[in-house]
Amino acid sequence: MPKIHIDKDKCKSCQLCIYFCPKKQLKLSDKLNKKGVYPVIFCQGDECIGCGFCAVICPDSCIEVEK
């Protein structure tokens, strides 16, 4: 299963990764980050295929996909 690493403190909560994830494995956290926004977190589901769409679409390079 791929591992998704998200730098929660760099995330500005634009939610592009959530929108483009084909398996809907990303969601907003219920805790604020240093910027005062709810960052994106990985759901830890088994459905992630490691496509990397989330990492490619992130404008701030907050996401890294490890296969």
DSSP code per residue over 12-55: ----HHHHH-TT--EEE-SS--TTSS--EEE---TT-----HHH
Q: Give me the CATH number covering residue 21.
A: 3.30.70.20
Confidence of residue 56 (pLDDT cuts 50, 70, 90): very high
| pLDDT of 46 strictly over 80 | yes
Model-level pTM? 0.91
pLDDT of residue 18: 98
Q: How many structural domains comprise the chain? A: 1
| Domain span at 42 | 3-66
**pLDDT for the residue numbered 67:** 84
pLDDT tens digits, one per residue of 2-45: 999 999 999 999 999 999 999 999 999 999 999 999 999 999 87
Output the pLDDT for position 45.
76
